[in-house]
Amino acid sequence: MSFPRAIDGPRLYDWATRSVAELSARRAEINALNVFPVPDADTGSNMAHTMEAALAEAKKLASHDDVAQVARALSIGSVRGARGNSGLVLSQVLRAIADAAVVGQIAGPDVAYALTTAVQLVDRAISKPVEGTIITVLRSAALAAQEAGEDLHEVVTAAVAAARIALAKTPSQLDVLRDAGVVDAGGMGLLVLLEALLAEVEGSAAVSSAPTEVHGQAAELEIMFFFTGDLALLEQRLQGMGDSLGIARAEENCGSVHIHSRQAGPVIEAAFATGQVTDLRLEVLPDAPQVGAPRRVVVAVTPAGSIAELYREAGAVVVTPGEDIVSEILAEVRTTSAQELILLPNGQLDQRQLVAVERATHAFEQTLTIVPTSRLVSGIAALTVHNPSVPVSVAAYAMTEAAAAMRTTILTECAPGETVEQATERVCLPLLGDGAEQVVVLSRVELDVDKLEAELGLDVMAFPADGLDHLVEIGVE
């Protein structure tokens, strides 16, 4: 079956119309999920109202032939009519679509660009973004879209599949969702919009919740919940979505439901669409026994330039900080086939970013361990002792010990009349003590290593560091 190569103005307008209908139809369902940030049961209403305001602005156009004009109208209407945090996020998604549509069409790469831009816009619009919410679902969709290639249908299909998986895993990232037994309401609303887009591209009469092919294999989840409603209808809808389906009836219209599935998103959607769901729990089931050790990579956050090259030569995957470092890290690690990830932040990430990275990786089938490296020289010490043949927890423990054992300082500038070598010696001396064996120096300028070794009485390893914010960084082991 052939699908359109790009979204034109009429198709974008039809998507907005379809989205309003879907959000309106599922308003109560999404409202019932709303427990974060406050349980005010209005997320579905807010998203529906925001999308209605967007569509109303687009209806004012004399023609819907120009996709850029339609996208701009949707953006303006949503920003003016945004309600609540979820409406604010939705308005930024539509603004990103407008940015992508300026080229005159919305093809596969433009959808990926729009989703990626939306992540950045939302991150700026919300003072303290929280993972396990709509931002996590949006980021997962954006990353999958980036990897899907250029075909419009494949890009949207990948985004929907990733959003479903990320939504299903939101309870594992946010305690309030897990305690309430629900998925994130805003994330569900975003999934509705993405599914509406896929239905529009496919020319479907209604939004499809059919299983979607994804690149790679999602983890099999054990999905458990208490259901009140038509159990026979629910059982019929869940057939084919997984195995080990079991329903323990408390009464004829309520009971505990259990199923193993790699399609957690559609399972949860079907349950909420059929009746009342409470006490929702998700657990990752162990995969089939692996032959050999799981693949592992060490990810280091460093400035661009010679420092980044130094880390690459030592075997690390390097990410240089940009506008959205969280998405950049996740995009980099998703391109690997590693099951285990060790992150060296090297003082380049703040606490909010560390929390966001750690929680965001819950949406993927990769285990992240953060080694607390506060400086770039600490990261070098940690990377030096990494042993890929031992379990990841043991490797991370040894790396943490090495980083903690290194005494570090920085040199921002030389005193008047002082050479760089003299200034380096001055700030280094207080770090020397019993057991000091060598000094590691990262410097923006060339150093006389022989002179430093003679003055300090220790081996000195000096590396060029053209990306440093300061003049010299020093570590004593």
Locate the domains of the chain by residue range.
6-202, 221-284, 296-405, 407-476
Query: What pLDDT does residue 112 have?
Result: 93
Q: What's the pTM?
A: 0.58
- Selected residue with higher pLDDT from 401 and 368: 401
pLDDT class of 10 with cuts at 50, 70, 90? very high
Contacts with 376 (C-beta within 8 Å, 6 or more apart), sequence order: 302, 307, 346, 347, 442, 465, 468, 473
Spatial distance between the Cα atoms of 282 and 138, rounded to a whole number of angstroms: 20
pLDDT at 88: 86
Tens digit of each residue's pLDDT (9 = 90 or more) over 221-243: 778 788 899 998 998 888 888 87
pLDDT at 366 > cutoff 90: no
pLDDT of 342 above 60 = yes
| Distance (Å, whole) CA 6 – CA 12 | 10
Fold of 6-202: 1.25.40
- Which tens digit of pLDDT belongs to each residue from 249-258? 777 888 878 8
To the question of domain 296-405 being in CATH 3.40.50, the answer is yes
Strand ordering across the sheet containing 340-344: 317-319, 296-301, 340-344, 367-370
- Measure the CA–CA gap between 31 and 28, rounded to whole angstroms: 5
Q: Which long-range contacts (CB under 8 A, 24 or more apart) does 250-259 make?
A: 253/228, 253/229, 254/226, 254/227, 254/228, 254/229, 255/226, 255/227, 255/231, 256/224, 256/225, 256/226, 256/227, 257/223, 257/224, 257/225, 257/226, 257/227, 258/222, 258/223, 258/224, 259/222, 259/223
Closest C-alpha among 426, 432, 429 to residue 414: 426
Over range 83-91, report the average pLDDT: 85
Structure tokens at 121: 């816009």
CB atoms within 10 A of CB 230: 14
- State mean pLDDT over 159-167: 89
User: Which of the listed CATH numbers 3.30.70, 2.30.30, 3.10.20, 3.40.1350 matches domain 221-284?
Assistant: 3.30.70
Residue 182: other Cβ atoms inside 10 A: 24
Stronger pLDDT, 253 or 174, i.e. the higher one: 253
> 412-432, pLDDT tens digit by residue?
889 998 898 899 889 888 888
